């Protein structure tokens, strides 16, 4: 089930929290169902302009966010144009200013290093003012601490914190993680989710598996 485009606010009277899928329309940005963004400083509807940074069409890079993610106020996603190239002897982006320096416009993208897409899994919680850099992949069920700067990939169900962010601990033991990854509860249809909410919220994985027919 997809969130209808007109359904922006999950709660009556709350204009600080939005279903992100309903307010993001830009090129190369994909957001899964029920993912939310909360912003008590700026209008959360302006997420794409205020939080997805250095995302220029010339690169073709993507921001992919899964289902049921929770993104806190001020979290930022820095795409590839933020990375001034280290291949040059200077970090100054000469190719961008091709009119001044006579460089071919076709070389604009050589002004920065392309590290790839940002891919966020399902059920990921990204804390207050965290920063996710280009090329980073964050696994399902991970937690990114407040004001963490994530410079490398994050394994599923791992809690990360710090600058640069480092693993603090796993949320569960490896067997439980593998069972959750196999279950993929975030793909349940809404009718099934409603029946499973109690088991999910109580942390009863066995009951959740039984309801899913595992």
Task: State the residue for tokens 């994985």.
Answer: 205
3-class DSSP state for residue 133?
strand
Q: Which of 165, 142, 152 is nearest to 71 (CA)?
A: 142
pLDDT at 2: 53
pLDDT at 5: 46
Per the annotation, the verdict on 25 as an active-site residue is no
Q: Which one is catalytic: 25, 27, 55, 84?
A: 84
Q: What are phi and psi of 50, to 5 degrees?
A: -90, -20
Distance of alpha carbon 25 from its chain centroid, rounded? 15
Query: DSSP string spanning 155-188?
Result: -TTEEEETTTTEEEEESS-HHHHHHHHHH-GGGS
| HSE value, Cβ hemisphere, 13 Å, CA-based, for 9 | 9
For the chain, domains (ranges, CATH) are 17-84+112-171 (2.160.10.10), 172-214 (no CATH)
Contact status, residue 139 vs residue 158, Cβ threshold 8 Å: yes
The CA-based diameter of the chain, rounded to the nearest angstrom, is 66
| Series of mean pLDDT values for 10-residue runs along the chain (214 residues) | 67 94 91 97 96 92 97 97 93 92 89 94 98 98 98 98 98 97 96 93 94 79
52 forms beta bridges with 77
Q: Which of 82, 87, 34, 90 is nearest to 59 (CA)?
A: 82
Q: Residue 208 and residue 195: Cα distance in Å, rounded?
A: 9
């Amino acid at each position: 089930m997809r969130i209808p485009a007109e359904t922006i606010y999950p709660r009556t009277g709350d204009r600080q929290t939005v279903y992100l899928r309903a307010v993001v329309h830009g090129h190369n940005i994909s957001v899964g169902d029920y993912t939310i963004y909360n912003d008590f400083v700026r209008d959360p509807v302006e997420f794409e302009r205020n939080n997805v940074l250095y995302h220029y069409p010339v690169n073709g890079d993507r921001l992919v966010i899964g289902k049921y993610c929770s993104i806190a106020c001020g979290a930022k996603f820095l795409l590839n144009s933020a990375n001034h190239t280290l291949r040059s002897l200077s970090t100054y982006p000469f190719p961008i200013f091709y009119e001044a320096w006579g460089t071919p416009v076709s070389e604009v993208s050589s002004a920065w290093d392309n590290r790839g897409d940002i891919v966020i899994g399902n059920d990921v919680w990204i804390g207050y003012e965290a920063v996710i850099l280009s090329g980073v992949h964050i696994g399902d069920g991970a937690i990114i601490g407040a004001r963490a700067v994530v410079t490398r990939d994050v394994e599923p169900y791992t809690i990360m914190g710090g600058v640069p962010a480092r693993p603090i601990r796993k949320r569960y033991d490896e067997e439980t993680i593998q069972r959750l990854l196999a279950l993929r509860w975030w793909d349940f249809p809404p009718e099934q989710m409603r029946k499973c909410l109690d088991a999910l919220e109580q942390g009863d994985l066995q009951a959740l598996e039984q309801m899913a027919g595992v």
